[in-house]
Structures are given as C-alpha cells and as structure tokens.
Amino acid sequence: METRLLLSDPPSPLSIIPLGGLGEIGLNMLLVQYEEDILVIDAGLMFPEDYMLGIDIVIPDFSYLLKNKERLKAIVLTHGHEDHIGALPFLLKEISVPVYGSRFTLELVKEKLKEHHLLGQSDLRAVSPKEILSIGPFRLEFIRVTHSIPDGLGLAIQTPMGTLIHSGDFKIDQTPLDGVITDINTFAAYGARGVLALMSDSTNVEREGHTLPEKRISETLDQIMRECEGRVIVAVFASNIHRIQQVVNSAARYQRKVAFNGKSMVINCRIARELGLLNVPPGMELTLGEMLQLPDSQVTLITTGSQAEPMSSLTRIARDDHKQIKIKKGDTVILSSRFIPGNEKAIDGLINNLYRFGAEVIYEKVSEIHVSGHANQEELKLMLHLTRPKFFIPIHGEYRHLVKHAQLAHKIGIPKENLILAEDGQVIRFDEEGGRIEGQVEVGRVFVDGKGVGDVGNLILRDRRHLSNEGLVVVLVVLNNQTGELLSGPDIISRGFISEEEYPQLIQEAKERVLEILYLRQKEDIKNWADIQEEIRKTLRRFFDHSLERRPVVLPLIIPM
C-alpha cells in the first residue's frame, strides 16, 4: 500500500507597509497586511516644519487605505501621544473600523473625537497588558512598556508567516514612578519561541548608555521647591502624567498649592485623576484666581508651553499677554522637557523674555530637569537580545536614526542581509524566501490648515514662502471693455515689499511701464485681459529685480467696465 505525505499549503506572503514615521519624527502609521486583511498600527500627526507656513498640523496620506478600506480589520494604538493618535479623527471620517488601545489612550482619543463630532459613531475598545485577541488572521498580545505617558503598549502580532514584535515607544526604567515597568519577560518569551521581525523605536539611538530613571527628576524638583522663595511655574507636556505627579509631590512636601493651566493640561489631568493615574491630595489644587491670593512661597503653577508653542499658556505669559499670570522678580520657571529639534529658536526667545521680566529659568541645558521617554542604546540592544528576531526593521525616526539603529543591530549579531532599512511607502514583504523591500504604495503628507484638509499643496506653500520673503505688489487698472481705453489707474499697492513713501520714484517708474504696455496693447485687438496681466507681471518682476534685486509677487488686476 502506497503511503502519501500530505503537505499543507505554504503561508501567503506577509507585508508591512509604513505610511509614516520612517524618515521623520512623528506621523507614525504602519500597516500589517496578510492576504485580504489589513491591521493598522497608530495614526499619528506631525507638527509643521518652518517652511510649512500657515499649516496647523500634518497627517499621513491615507490614499492606500481608502482604496483598500474593505480589507481594514482594526486600528491598534500603542499610546496616546499626538504623533501616534493625532491623525485618527481624520481617518475615522473616511473609514468605520474598531479602534483598540489602553484606557488612558482611548480617553485622550475621545476628547479628540468630540472636537470632530465623531465620538458617537466611533467603535473604541479598551485593552490591557497581557490581553490576547484575534483580529482576522492576526493574534495580538498587548505588552506593557514604560514611556513618558501612562498606559503604553508594545505588540506581539502572530501571523501565519511568523511573529512580529512592535516595541511601541519605550524605555526600560526599573524604578518608574507608578511601579509599572516594561514587561521584558513577555518580550523574552516571544524571543524564545521565535520572532520573524522586530520593529523597534529608533528615536534615541544616538544616545549612549541607559535612559536616566524618571525618579531622578524628584531630587531636582525638591531642591528647587526647597530653595525658591517665590512662585514656581513648571512647563511640561500635558501627556507626561508621571512628571506632573512628581511636581505635585514636591509641591506637597514644601507646603505649596498647585494650579493647572492650559486646555490640554486641564483635560489630561482630569482624565488621569479619573483613571487613578494622578493623585492630587484633597484641598491642594486651586483655581488661578485662588492662587493669586496666596503668598508667592506657597504657589506652584503647572502649565503647557514647554516648546514655546505660539498660543500656549507659557508663551502668552512670557509675552505679558496672559490675563491672570504676570511674571515678576522672584519667580522660578522650569521647562521640564527637552528642546524638540526645530523649536530651539522659539524656546530661546521665550527664556529670554522670562529673564527680562525678572524670572529665574531652569531648563535641560543647565539642570537635570528632564529625562527622555525613549530608549537609549543599551536598552535598544536589550530589546534586540530579548526578542532575538530573524529580521530587524528600525522604525520611528529620521533616516539617520534608522541607519544607526540598523548598525547597532548588526553589531550584536543580526546579519546585514536581515536588516531592512525601509522608508515611508515601501512594502516590506516576507515569504518563504525571506524578507525584503518589494514594491511601493502611494504615500505623502497631507496639510491641515484650519478646516481645510489637503487643499493646501506645495504650490500654495511655495507662494506663501515667496510672499513672506519678498512681499506683494498689486497693480490695479480699470479699462474700457470695448476700446481698451484707460479709465483709471494704474494704482500700485505694496505690502511687505517697499514703503511707497520711501520709494516714490520707483513706484512712478513702475506705473510708467504699465502705461507703456497698455498703450501698445490698445493699438491691437484688446480682448485677452489674461495676456495683458501676464505681461504686466513679468515686466514689473524684471523691473523690481533689476532695481532692488528683489522679486515680489506681482498681482495685476484689470477691471473691464
């Protein structure tokens, strides 16, 4: 009798597709795709760079997802920072799908969805560390990680092709304020069973050693509170509940009251208290009005604005534009956060203004007042050792961070051919032949300007930069609709280019050149106003460039009557 060995079909290819977060800080969004099913990990925003004039926020391009929305099974959030949840409302306007996250993360999401009038129609599902659930072909386990925000999660994603580990944003702090440490045992258990690929946070890969423990900040805060005879004003990220708790604890030790200032600060602290993540002793919290009645030595203000955001509370205070808080001699202002790249100039200006009003300012460059929420090199190495992945994919960082993280992984033994250095839109494919980059999907950045989403493109940004750099010249002419005869003008209005009072001769010469064009055109069949406007624009651009070496935006307006 012949015996046949029945072999099961090999698993289908598995794809990982980053839509954001690989090549920049922020905009984190990653897809895991198996056959007809897609799982989304995070949906974050990034804040505008200097050249993005007038833009409020930047979100990923969802085009690929929208084309495949029937395949989308769920969105999983690792934690509640804006660079991981900020784009979610814009995505949920287009796609209805369950959203999974920790309690604190989903409470922050709810506040965002309220602003977009989406809360009633959103399917939010809370999960806890060690919880396991199945979503289509994916079996997920949520793994507790320590970060600069409560309730952070890493992910183990079991697929027919193998297990993926997503570190989330993490650090390894053995003495966190809340006692909740990164679950290295679960990461190690998956490593022992076999991990196909590790995707790990690259933000701090340039920093050697270990991240300092969060509790180190308590010593600095205690010293400041003990020695300061005036008010203490602490600017901190509203999401950094552990840091806020340390400020509250130090204030309590030195018989100070606290007040919370800034919309996001008030909301986040309310949510954290409701969930038992922040403890403020009864009677310790005051309103701003009540705080003004106390002696300065009893006052601690916890506020937003550590990055000198233009409309933040601390920025308004530093401009002497806050209705209730005025900086005075004897105040101590603490900026308890790192200077995010790109914000340095604004923060320096804020610090200078605070000093002008008589405050003492304490910040990361002069005092140990901040520790990072991201893993340094030794912790990144530990994550690699724990999970022992076959393939390694660095995520969450600018391109140089991804390169350095891949180099770090190679130093501890991962072969070069198993290091996958991908960027946004590149499809990472795993099959029986291995893992590699194969293909590309549509990606990009979508600009949000006020209520407009995606209606501001590169051309408009170019015009805004041109206007900001060179100014605007408007040429107003009224012509007879039939004959082309000049009825009024030309009037020339300058904004941001030159003062008309200081350059009367230049303005007069510009008018004469416009008149010359109109005179020559009047002898022709004058019907195409657009051609005349374009000729005026080019002529004046050349004239101004030759006269002043400046190239303003020239806007001719011909009004036929």
The structural architecture, per CATH, of the domain 471-560 is Roll (3.10)
In sequence order, the β-bridge partners of residue 76 are: 41, 100
How many Cα neighbours within 13 Å face the side chain of 486? 17
Supply the residues annotated as catalytic. Answer: 201, 374
The domain spans of the chain are 14-209+373-453, 227-362, 471-560
Q: How far apart are CA 155 and CA 144, in angstroms?
A: 9
> Which tokens go with 434?
């291995």
Amino acid sitting at position 444: G
Are 206 and 273 within 8 A, CB to CB? no
Q: CA nearest 465: which of 548, 343, 552, 538?
A: 552
Please tell me the CATH code under which domain 227-362 is placed.
3.40.50.10710
- For 227, residues 6+ apart whose C-beta sits below 8 A from its C-beta are none
Task: Tell me if residue 17 falls in helix, strand or coil.
Answer: strand
Instruction: List Cα–Cα distances, 289 to 270, 286, 323, 334, 387, in angstroms.
Output: 19, 8, 11, 21, 53
Q: How far apart are CA 483 and CA 33, in angstroms?
A: 66
Q: What is the DSSP string of 409-467?
A: HHHTT--GGGB----TTEEEEEETTEEEEEEE----EEEEETTEES---HHHHHHHHHH
Determine phi and psi for 178, rounding to 5 degrees. Answer: -95, 0
Determine phi and psi for 68, rounding to 5 degrees. Answer: -125, 30
Are 422 and 18 within 8 A, CB to CB? yes
Tens-of-pLDDT digits for all 561 residues of the chain?
A: 334 444 457 889 999 999 999 999 899 999 999 999 999 999 999 876 665 555 667 889 899 999 999 999 999 999 999 999 999 999 999 999 999 999 999 999 999 999 989 998 999 999 999 999 999 999 999 999 999 999 999 999 999 999 999 999 999 998 888 888 999 999 999 999 999 999 999 999 999 999 988 888 888 899 999 999 999 999 999 999 999 999 999 999 999 999 999 999 999 999 999 999 999 999 999 998 898 899 999 999 999 988 888 778 898 899 888 888 899 999 999 999 887 766 778 889 999 999 999 999 998 776 778 889 999 999 999 999 999 999 999 999 999 999 999 999 999 999 999 999 999 999 999 999 999 999 999 998 887 765 556 445 566 556 566 566 677 888 887 877 766 677 777 888 887 777 777 778 888 888 888 887 777 766 565 567 777 788 888 888 888 788 877 788 888 887 777
Question: pTM of this prediction?
Answer: 0.82
Q: What is the DSSP string of 502-553?
A: T-HHHHHHHHHHHHHHHHHHHTS----HHHHHHHHHHHHHHHHHHHHS---E
Q: How far apart are CA 484 and CA 146, in angstroms?
A: 74
Positive or negative torsion for Cα 490, 491, 496, 501 = positive
Q: How far apart are CA 383 and CA 361, in angstroms?
A: 37
Please tell me the CATH code under which domain 14-209+373-453 is placed.
3.60.15.10
Identify the DSSP state of 379.
H
